[in-house]
Structure 1
């Protein structure tokens, strides 16, 4: 599906019936040939928005996957970059793409860092965490940053209810909830649980000073609302 190099429908079904970790281990070799990879346009928009905040020292990609976000950190951080993920398969792909980076296999709900980084970022991974799990994730990022450090979270906005995309994502969430109600282990991936206000609220509760800026280069919906925002959470 998606391209000749992408996963087949059967492979996607096997992934969806696995746990999150096992599913991404299976998908890793073909992940970059799917729409699930963060688009280069969003990565570039994030770099442009963060350039005025830097330069930064050390950078951390939270849930780095195959390493697309490391390209962003590499351009912004002068003292090295680290990727952390719990999928061995995804980390293997990232190591091949960025041999100069440091990689750590860990559950990001219990990040093993304290005061080591000046910039942290996560790209497209928050849907893999239930709302009740986000506080532990954000508190771990807060702990990993040095005072004054920044946690950057680029986020797409749910399309308006008048769009086909809105109901496609809503239907996806419904299917995943039904799947997780009847099958174990669960595969957590939801779109409607990661609204911008919810993320801002949880980051503030973790101790960050939070602001969100529109990524205007990513375009707007017909009602004029930006399609994407960059949330900047600063360690006080």
Structure 2
């Protein structure tokens, strides 16, 4: 498993925009990509939670030293509806795939709490949107007061677009079920058709590759989803291996 430093080096040496200017490794887009990859390799792995809130904003009219935070879209919605953190009382967490169309964050964390943290789930769990760059859903032990104490806002559920996107993810997995090699042209065609079907017409696809600008390989897969940028990133897939759909 790659360490955080190794992931940083890998992504900072990569250019997801071939033929155009290099992506600034400290830009919001690069930060979201790194966060997404880290979450992917840490699935179901316990780790010490360190929230990295966005730059705090001074509250207008408040006394000096009083701060607020921005969690998700500021209205109780996550910016990344594909993942979920269950946060234990000791600060460790478990990171899971999440489908807002069919799953409830509190119910999903309660179901796995014993496995994740070695103790029974507490009587009350609360879903919040944290103030990290990706505005993730985090479920804490306790009531709604836990959100504010972790610089987060209560989670109010998915947006209409996030529900449409969840159905898109279900359909693309079903369409290519059992396949071990999907050509780029076919994948782009099906993705485009599903964008239209699910009213995701502002979304697009892009090809992720290293700075060496290798040509596209014979097989493709979805590498990750960038919801704030409405982008489906595609990358090479090894023929014969099962395709993991994020």
TM-score range, shorter chain: under 0.3
TM-score (normalizing by structure 1) = 0.26
TM-score (normalizing by structure 2) = 0.26
Q: Which has the larger radius of gyration?
A: 2
- Which is richer in helix? 1
